[in-house]
Amino acid sequence: LLGAAGAVEAIFSVLSLREGFIPGTMNYQVKDEELDLDYVPNKGREAEMEYALSNSLGFGGHNACLIFKK
């Protein structure tokens, strides 16, 4: 699955966008008070989204970033 991890992440990004559900960040514990971000800790939630971003960072510098639009 390591070689297909980027594709799997992209698929889940598209599904998240289609279903209007943001999965939670597992094991998230400490919020950085200096950053004003919309965190989704531990448990997912519904949200209206127009775009989804999928970053894939691989060994040897093989990197890709995809933006999906609803």
The tens digit of pLDDT for each residue in 3-60 reads 788 899 999 999 999 999 999 989 988 888 899 888 899 999 999 999 999 999 888 8
The predicted pLDDT at position 62 comes to 84
In angstroms, the CA 34 to CA 5 distance is 31
21 touches 40 (CB < 8 A): no
Residue 1: pLDDT band with limits 50, 70, 90: low
CA 17/CA 4 separation, integer angstroms: 20
Ranges of each domain in the chain: 2-69
Q: Does domain 2-69 have CATH number 3.90.1150.10?
A: no
For residue 52, which of 28, 18, 24 has the smallest C-alpha distance? 18
Please report the pLDDT score of residue 4 as a whole number: 86
